[in-house]
């Protein structure tokens, strides 16, 4: 069955959503991601939605859910590549995605995750495994 | 009713050449004729075509006014109005095209119909029909005019609000003039597109050149800031003049988590700081 | 006002939500909607189609291309024979969070379109009609 690929990039995971997701696919993604964060000891998740033309409240909630679960597992989530039309529509819909960090693209998102990880490690006095 | 209408249609077809000739000479001699704007040959062609379509409508009077022969004649009138607008005719000059057909029609009906009762009926029906079409022409004219104006407004909008890249990662959008709801939306969409294109993480929206801001415009600004944030960029609003500041508070608009600065310069300084850039003065220069 | 063309589809599963999105997108593109307007109307359709499944137990969808005096638009109708909405006013209020999923998203969908009509009574199902006009 089709799954959205999850790539390991150093200490982070990169998920690129390129299809118009139906519900089952979204559920599977959430489960797969949760498993992988634990399995790969990931400290961050980059969710690339630059190919998404539509983000409705369901996808919005999925994003929020992923961010929440990751945080509990000590991984930070950054959503990158949101298209202007999508952003404008989400604002109109009333979805603020509070608690979800965003960046313009994978590079800035990656930089954000690295910086944030450094901060956390400094606070915890040393490298995290 | 339909039978009588087709009688008029028959008469029209029989007398087409004469009616057309008469109609043309009325149009040409009318005070509203603009020989400077339209060639007689073009006018002849338009009149001929209209007469044919008019005959078809007369034939099928009573039908739905949005299909068939009605649609054809309306389409033609749309065309005529559009070209008249472009050529610089006034609304009355344009409507005269249709209304001036009345006289030749009445003349023809008087010649062909002997029975007074019938004559009155037909003249009345013809008047009603031509009035409808004449009014339609005027409305079509107005539509065309409006769409030209809105296209020009669009072009003006795009010309007058360019997005400027001040530095790496910093964009500025200096807004000038009165903002209306539609213009604001277009401008804001444009800004967000530029943010993606340039990868800028900070956009400064400067409203020094905006005399007034109403609730709608303020809401659009806030929505743009929110949308930019969702995309991963921050906005700074600069150039808020005292009156506008008062209006904002008065309208109860909450700018809580948006950075606002009095001048574009201040905003730029903050933007540089936040993107990790720094401006230093070379020693020895003032 | 004239209906230029129309199409209907049934909404039974979440795959149909994707299908509805695709249909609305195609029609919006063919009518010449701007990208932002396309996104807004497709998203609104997605919200309402989802409601039909989540709260209506499945239902029907109709899309019509409208022409009102040279103004073009899209009219979408979502109907179901579900339990209906008890308190419409409450339902129209925004109530969702990114984690919770509360609220029907009706208020949000309403803001994305130009015209919004809802008819719902407990036991009589729900019908929502939305219209998005193309900006001339």
- Judged by CB atoms closer than 8 Å, whether chains meet at B147 and C136 is answered as yes
Nearest by Cα to C97 from A37, A68, A25: A68
The first and second tokens of residue C21, run together, are 């999105």
* Confidence at A127, pLDDT banded by 50, 70, 90: low
- B184 with B267, same domain: the answer is yes
**Chain C contact present for B41, CB below 8 A:** no
- B64 with B146, same domain: the answer is yes
Residue A17 has pLDDT above 80, yes or no: yes
- B96 with B182, same domain: the answer is no
* Chain A residues with CB-CB distance to B203 below 8 A: none
- Judged by CB atoms closer than 8 Å, whether chains meet at C69 and B147 is answered as no
- Residue B123 has a CB neighbour count (10 Å cut-off) of 16
The domain limits of chain A are 6-123
Mean pLDDT of chain B: 86
- Judged by CB atoms closer than 8 Å, whether chains meet at A92 and C14 is answered as no
* Confidence at B150, pLDDT banded by 50, 70, 90: confident
Per-residue pLDDT of B171-201, as tens digits, reads 999 988 777 777 788 888 999 999 999 999 9
- B14 with B78, same domain: the answer is yes
Rounded to a whole number, what is the distance in Å from the CA of C120 to chain B's nearest CA? 31
**Domain containing B241 — which CATH number?**
3.30.750.24
Mean pLDDT of B129-149: 90
* Chain C residues with CB-CB distance to B147 below 8 A: 136
- Judged by CB atoms closer than 8 Å, whether chains meet at C42 and A95 is answered as no
- B137 with B47, same domain: the answer is yes
Whether B189 is in a domain gets the answer yes
Residues of C with CB under 8 A from a CB of A: 14-15, 17-18, 21-22, 25, 35-36, 38-40, 42-43, 46-47, 50, 94, 96-101, 105, 107-109, 111-112
A contact residues 50-79, partner B, Cβ 8 Å cutoff:
79
Residue B284 has pLDDT above 90, yes or no: no
Final residue in a domain of this structure, among B134, B157, B180: B157
pLDDT of B187 reads 86
pLDDT of B32 reads 64
The first and second tokens of residue C105, run together, are 């998203």
Mean pLDDT of chain C: 87
ipTM: 0.90
**Chain C contact present for B182, CB below 8 A:** yes
Residue A28 has pLDDT above 90, yes or no: yes
CA B96 → CA A107, B89, C104, distances in Å? 66, 11, 56
**Share above pLDDT 70 across residues of chain B, in percent, rounded to a whole number:** 93
**Share above pLDDT 90 across residues of chain C, in percent, rounded to a whole number:** 63
Phi then psi dihedrals of residue A22, to 5 deg: -95, 170
- Judged by CB atoms closer than 8 Å, whether chains meet at B230 and A80 is answered as no
* Strand B170-176 with C71-80, pairing: unpaired
Left if phi > 0, otherwise alpha if psi is -120 to 50, otherwise beta: which for A41? Answer: left
Rounded to a whole number, what is the distance in Å from the CA of C1 to chain A's nearest CA? 28
* Confidence at C136, pLDDT banded by 50, 70, 90: very low
Whether B22 is in a domain gets the answer yes
- B134 with B225, same domain: the answer is no
Mean pLDDT of C76-105: 71
pLDDT of C85 reads 84
**Domain containing B21 — which CATH number?**
1.10.490.10
Higher pLDDT, A29 or B43: A29
* Chain B residues with CB-CB distance to A84 below 8 A: 189, 192-193, 195-196, 227, 231
- B199 with B142, same domain: the answer is no
- Judged by CB atoms closer than 8 Å, whether chains meet at A65 and C99 is answered as yes
pLDDT of B221 reads 87
Higher pLDDT, C13 or C4: C13
Rounded to a whole number, what is the distance in Å from the CA of B140 to chain C's nearest CA? 9
Higher pLDDT, B269 or B216: B269
pLDDT of B1 reads 45
- Judged by CB atoms closer than 8 Å, whether chains meet at C2 and B182 is answered as no
pLDDT of B64 reads 67
pLDDT of C99 reads 32
**Among the partner residues A53, A56, A84, nearest to C47 by beta-carbon distance:** A56
**Within 13 Å, how many C-alpha atoms sit on residue B3's CB side?**
1
* Confidence at B156, pLDDT banded by 50, 70, 90: confident
**Chain B contact present for A18, CB below 8 A:** no
Domain with C55, as residue range(s), is: 2-133
pLDDT of C40 reads 96
- Judged by CB atoms closer than 8 Å, whether chains meet at A22 and C14 is answered as yes
Residues 6+ apart with CB under 8 A from B211: B177, B178
- B33 with B152, same domain: the answer is yes
**Among the partner residues A91, A96, A104, nearest to B199 by beta-carbon distance:** A104
Higher pLDDT, A124 or A59: A59
**Within 13 Å, how many C-alpha atoms sit on residue C9's CB side?**
19
pLDDT of B92 reads 86
pLDDT of C100 reads 36
Mean pLDDT of C42-60: 94
**Chain B contact present for C70, CB below 8 A:** yes
Rounded to a whole number, what is the distance in Å from the CA of B153 to chain C's nearest CA? 12
Mean pLDDT of B63-72: 77
* Strand C125-133 with A12-16, pairing: unpaired
**Among the partner residues C36, C69, C70, nearest to B189 by beta-carbon distance:** C36
Overall number of domains in chain B: 2
Of B24-28, B193-197, B215-219, which one has max mean pLDDT? B193-197
* Chain C residues with CB-CB distance to A94 below 8 A: 94, 96, 107-108, 111
Higher pLDDT, C97 or B66: B66
Nearest CA in chain C to B189: C36
Per-residue pLDDT of C5-33, as tens digits, reads 999 999 999 899 999 999 999 999 999 99
Overall number of domains in chain C: 1
**Domain containing C111 — which CATH number?**
3.30.565.10
Cβ-Cβ pairs closer than 8 A, A with C, add up to 85
Per-residue pLDDT of B90-120, as tens digits, reads 888 888 889 999 999 999 999 998 899 999 9
Nearest CA in chain A to C38: A85
- B63 with B139, same domain: the answer is yes
Cβ-Cβ pairs closer than 8 A, A with B, add up to 53
- Residue C102 has a CB neighbour count (10 Å cut-off) of 11
Distance in angstroms (rounded) separating the CA atoms of residues B34 and B27 = 10
Whether B279 is in a domain gets the answer no
pLDDT of B85 reads 86
- B45 with B125, same domain: the answer is yes
DSSP state of B14: H
Which chains are within 8 Å of C by 3+ CB pairs? Answer: A, B
Final residue in a domain of this structure, among B101, B130, B157: B157
- B54 with B113, same domain: the answer is yes
pLDDT of C103 reads 58
pLDDT of B181 reads 77
pLDDT of B28 reads 83
Higher pLDDT, A16 or B160: A16
Higher pLDDT, C135 or C127: C127
User: What is the separation of C-alpha C127 from the centre of its chain, rounded to a whole number of angstroms?
Assistant: 10
Mean pLDDT of C27-48: 95
Domain with B56, as residue range(s), is: 2-157
Q: Classify domain A6-123 at the CATH class level.
A: alpha beta
Final residue in a domain of this structure, among B157, B182, B214: B157
């Amino acid at each position: 069955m089709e799954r959205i690929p999850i790539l390991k990039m150093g200490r982070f995971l990169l998920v690129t959503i390129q299809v118009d997701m139906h519900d089952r696919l979204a559920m599977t993604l959430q489960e797969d991601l949760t498993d992988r964060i634990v399995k790969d000891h990931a400290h961050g998740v980059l969710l690339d939605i630059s190919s998404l033309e539509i983000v409705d409240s369901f996808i919005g909630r999925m994003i929020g859910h992923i961010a929440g679960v990751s945080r509990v597992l000590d991984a930070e989530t950054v959503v990158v590549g949101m298209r202007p039309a999508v952003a404008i529509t989400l604002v109109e819909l009333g979805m603020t995605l509070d608690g979800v960090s965003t960046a313009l693209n994978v590079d800035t998102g990656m930089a954000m995750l690295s910086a944030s990880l450094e901060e956390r490690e400094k606070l915890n006095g040393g490298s995290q495994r | 009713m339909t039978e009588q209408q087709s009688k008029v249609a028959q008469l029209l077809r029989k007398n087409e050449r004469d009616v057309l000739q008469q109609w043309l000479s009325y149009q040409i001699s009318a005070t509203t004729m603009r020989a400077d704007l339209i060639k007689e040959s073009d006018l002849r062609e338009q009149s001929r075509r209209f007469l044919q379509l008019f005959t078809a409508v007369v034939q099928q009077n009573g039908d739905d006014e949005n299909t068939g022969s009605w649609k054809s004649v309306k389409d033609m009138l749309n065309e005529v109005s559009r070209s008249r607008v472009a050529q610089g005719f006034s609304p009355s000059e344009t409507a005269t095209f249709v209304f001036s057909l009345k006289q030749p029609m009445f003349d023809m009906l008087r010649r062909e119909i002997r029975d007074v009762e019938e004559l009155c009926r037909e003249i009345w029906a013809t008047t009603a029909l031509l009035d409808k079409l004449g009014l339609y022409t005027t409305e079509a004219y107005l539509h065309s005019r409006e769409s030209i104006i809105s296209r020009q407004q669009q072009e003006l909008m795009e010309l007058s609000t360019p997005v400027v890249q001040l530095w790496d990662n910093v964009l500025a959008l200096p807004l000038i003039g009165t903002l209306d709801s539609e213009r604001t939306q277009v401008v804001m969409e444009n800004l967000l597109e530029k943010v993606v294109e340039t990868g800028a993480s900070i956009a400064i929206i400067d409203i020094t050149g905006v005399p007034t801001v109403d609730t709608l415009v303020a809401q659009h600004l806030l929505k743009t800031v929110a949308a930019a944030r969702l995309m991963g960029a921050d906005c700074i609003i600069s150039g808020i003049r005292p009156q506008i500041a008062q209006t904002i508070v008065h309208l109860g608009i909450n700018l809580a988590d948006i950075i606002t600065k009095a001048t574009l310069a201040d905003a730029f300084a903050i933007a540089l700081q936040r993107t990790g850039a720094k401006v230093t003065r070379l020693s020895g220069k003032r | 006002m004239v209906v230029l063309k129309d199409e209907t589809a049934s909404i039974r599963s979440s795959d149909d939500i994707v299908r509805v999105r695709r249909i609305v997108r195609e029609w919006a593109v063919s009518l010449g909607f701007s990208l932002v307007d396309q996104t807004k109307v497709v998203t609104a359709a997605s919200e309402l189609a989802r409601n039909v499944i989540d709260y209506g137990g499945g239902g029907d969808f109709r899309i019509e291309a409208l022409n009102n005096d040279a103004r073009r638009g899209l009219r979408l109708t979502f109907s179901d024979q579900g339990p209906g909405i008890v308190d419409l006013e409450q339902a129209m209020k925004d109530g969702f969070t990114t984690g919770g999923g509360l609220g029907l998203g009706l208020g949000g969908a309403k803001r994305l379109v130009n015209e919004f009509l809802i008819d719902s009574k407990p036991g009589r199902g729900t019908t929502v009609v939305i219209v998005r006009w193309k900006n001339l």
